[in-house]
Amino acid sequence: MNSSMPAIALIVENDALQRELLTVLLKNENMDVIQCDSVEAAELVLARIGLDVSLLVTDVRLAGQKSGLDLAAFAGRNFPRLKVIVVSAEDGLDIPDGTCFLKKPWQPLDLLREAIG
């Protein structure tokens, strides 16, 4: 990222190991990272600082009542400039328009290409 302030990434993943992997990967690219384990927690973050967040990476299956697809649709409606990446091991998902999809297991370079490229 070529701005003086680090970009902010919001990672929404209920698996702590996956959250940490994503955090390390994005911090190595000089991004600030906020972690959540549910859509409800992520929506609170977006309500508070949504315009400052530049990247959302979410799994489909999460803690709580909503899925990552619900979050991707919410983000697309309310924050159209936000880059959204949905990750899942499932096929045949109805991915919201403007959202990138990476199938698990994804490769770190593929995620970085989508996140930063």
Q: Does domain 8-116 have CATH number 3.40.50.2300?
A: yes
Write out pLDDT tens, residues 42-81: 999 999 999 999 999 999 999 889 999 999 999 999 999 9
pTM: 0.93
For 37-41, which contacts have Cβ atoms below 8 Å and span 24 or more sequence positions? 37/12, 37/13, 37/62, 37/63, 38/12, 38/14, 38/62, 38/63, 38/64, 38/66, 39/12, 39/64, 39/65, 39/66, 39/67, 39/68, 39/70, 39/71, 39/74, 40/64, 40/65, 40/66, 41/12
Residue 112: pLDDT band with limits 50, 70, 90:
very high
**d(Cα 51, Cα 28) in Å, to the nearest integer?**
22
What mean pLDDT value characterizes the chain?
93
Torsions phi, psi for 2 (to 5 deg): -110, 30
> What are the residue ranges spanned by the domains of the chain?
8-116
